[in-house]
Structure 1
Amino acid sequence: MVIDTAQQLLNAALAVPLQRATTALLARQGIELWIRRDDLLDAQLSGNKFYKLFFNLQAARAQGFQQVISFGGAYSNHLHALAAAAHRYGMHAIGVIRGERPAHLSPTLQDAQARGMKLVFISRADYDRKTAADWLADLQARYGASYLIPEGGANLLGARGMQLLGAALEQQTGGDYSAVCLPVGTGTSLAGLAAGVDRRKPVVGFSVLKGAGDLGGNVAAFYDALWRDWHEGAFTSPASASALAENWRLISGFHGGGYAKKMSAMMFAFWQGFERETGIPLDPVYTIKMVWGISSLAQQGYWPRGSRLVAIHTGGLQGRRGFNCP
């Protein structure tokens, strides 16, 4: 399926199913949990990945670029989706990979390469400079004129794609929910989703990172920019726009040791139990941490009894191949 317009993407988003996830723990606490199965959006472009890529790819094509470059690790969901999207849109793609080339490519990179992505491996020291202007200029000189997409699609266009998902959720549910939850890496998806749903509804992001750093600042910056664009400049300064940033919150403490780290026995057991009870597959880096956080907070009485929660399944199931999955 090739999606060429925002309306087509919205129509595809409206067709994503909501699946009830009932567990003994949530039932005891009187919490109703629905998983929005964005992992089913597309066989190759699942979860939040294509939403974040869509407007970037549209911009690349509008500006006449035939090639895109982005960044990630050996199991990057972002690069996996970018390779598929570029192939589908007839564009060339280059994936800049953190670390030396291994003797055997990960399944993720094998897929990306099979879809035509050129893989470029660089040292971790060079990778840390991936936002430096001189380093990016050298990259362009070496591989030709390319549209640059930040790691994870973490830019305003990526957030705008998730804003569209939020608008679809509002139409789909008619606002009949208490809160929306999603896992957070860069904060792009949290900002976009919060800007797309009803301002009166809280959007709760569960950080998958051990150290939040400036994650909250990233969310606020994207959120404010989206609101200014949405209201066509009705807000005259970032300070006035920030007054609207009341419907998102960022929760840490459910990172499981950090990004893509080995899972603890306790979290692994929870993962097994949740999938057994609900039949909904989760990925080991993002969605498992969100659902673990939702359930843990339910046990602590964080959600009022009778709450109807919607959790966004951000895809990434291809990453299960790098873990000992249930």
Structure 2
Amino acid sequence: MQRVWCQVVIDTAQELLKTALAVPLQEVKTRELSQQGIELWVRRDDLLDAELSGNKFYKLFFNLQSARTKGYTQLISFGGAYSNHLHALAAAANRYGLRALGVIRGERPVKLSPTLIDAEAWGMKLIFISRTEYDRKTQADWLSELQACYGVSYLIPEGGANLEGARGMQLLGQALELQMQGDYTAACIAVGTGTSLAGLAAGIDQQKAAIGFSVLKGEGSLGLDIASTYRQLSVTRSIAADNWRLISGFHAGGYAKKPSGELFEFWRRFERETAIRLDPVYTIKMFWGIHSLAQQGYWPRGSRLVAIHSGGLQGRRGFICP
């Protein structure tokens, strides 16, 4: 399959929706799903753009719009050495003519990760801080100090986890609903901050389920965060009940842990059978969860599932891949 677009600046939500509607849906057949009578379609948002693939650009789009409308010329956000979010933010800032600051968890290493090498090449200024200091990234006084040091900036939370980020994913959900014309059972997505799940659920038909597979070992307030964001997005809808579910148990040891054992074997088999590359932090766990639940009889026979491929393939460079 070919990428949908590349190196293009999109300025309006209408243009973004038009692009989202062009994202291909690919039917995937695997042994486990066929045995259980489950139909799986993959929405190939990993093909959306060479640099801004998957859910990253949807989550950045309205943030970028807001920053430009308010007159900001500098963006600032947070992440680790292999952050898909910072990688996409650096690319987007470069494309849209904005300066970008990336606050990185941990001391600067002797050799930068491929992710951060790309970010610097696109003009992002990297700011390395201790893990203790990084834990203060949501505190107002610390953020004020940060802006005093580096200049007034439009703040985007780690992972693009704000209402603007969720609005972008809501648009993806709307595009999916138009593409499928309601002919599906549930839409599945990998979950880190929960922003993408909340947006997806608010964008699809309320009678359809949005299923999120958590990649975190400890969820904390994740469910409450998803519920809050979902309800903010759904103020114009008459909500009888939330149409999203969060599934745990497929984190394989925790966030960004190197896949091993059963998960690694699944990864190897899935890519061999489908020719679809997965990222080792997010999508691999979603697809593993979908298949495992199929074998447990969770999905009724005849279910038609849609899985959102949220990109992040640049992160493969930090792992041993099949």
Which TM-score applies when normalising by structure 2?
0.97
In the alignment, the residues of structure 2 paired with residue 306 and residue 132 of structure 1 have an alpha-carbon distance, to the nearest angstrom, of 48
The Cα shift of 1:184 comes to 0.2
In the alignment, the residues of structure 2 paired with residue 21 and residue 325 of structure 1 have an alpha-carbon distance, to the nearest angstrom, of 21
1:173 aligned to 180, 187, 194, which one? 180
2:41 maps to 1:34: yes
Mapping for residues 105-120 of structure 1, pairs under 5 Å = 105-120=112-127
Structure 2: gaps of 5 or more residues = 1-7
2:282 maps to 1:286: yes
Runs of 4+ in structure 1 over 2 Å off: none
Query: In the alignment, what sits opposite 2:152?
Result: 145
2:82 aligned to 75, 83, 96, which one? 75
Mapping for residues 187-266 of structure 1, pairs under 5 Å = 187-228=194-235, 230-231=236-237, 243-245=240-242, 247-266=243-262
Q: For 1:160-217, what per-residue CA distance to the aligned partner results, in whole angstroms no more than 9, with x for missing partners?
A: 0000000000111111111000000000000000000000001100000001111000
1:314 aligned to 278, 302, 310, which one? 310
The 8 Å contact of residues 258 and 280 in structure 2, kept in 1 or not, is answered as no
Q: CA RMSD in A?
A: 0.8
Query: In the alignment, what sits opposite 1:238?
Result: none
Query: In the alignment, what sits opposite 1:162?
Result: 169
Which amino acid letter does the alignment assign opposite residue 259 of structure 1?
Y
The Cα shift of 1:20 comes to 1.0
- Report how many residues are paired: 315
Query: In the alignment, what sits opposite 1:133?
Result: 140
2:108 aligned to 86, 101, 104, which one? 101
Query: In the alignment, what sits opposite 2:5?
Result: none
Structure 1: gaps of 5 or more residues = 236-240
In the alignment, the residues of structure 1 paired with residue 85 and residue 39 of structure 2 have an alpha-carbon distance, to the nearest angstrom, of 31
Q: What is the DSSP-based 3-state SS (H/G/I as helix, E as strand, rest coil) of the residue aligned with 2:205?
A: coil
Q: For 1:227-262, what per-residue CA distance to the aligned partner results, in whole angstroms no more than 9, with x for missing partners?
A: 11x45xxx7xxxxx6x531x1000000001000012
Q: What is the DSSP-based 3-state SS (H/G/I as helix, E as strand, rest coil) of the residue aligned with 1:19?
A: strand
Query: In the alignment, what sits opposite 2:273?
Result: 277
Query: In the alignment, what sits opposite 2:69?
Result: 62
Query: In the alignment, what sits opposite 2:131?
Result: 124
The Cα shift of 1:281 comes to 0.5
Which TM-score applies when normalising by structure 1?
0.96
In the alignment, the residues of structure 1 paired with residue 74 and residue 256 of structure 2 have an alpha-carbon distance, to the nearest angstrom, of 29
The 8 Å contact of residues 185 and 208 in structure 2, kept in 1 or not, is answered as yes
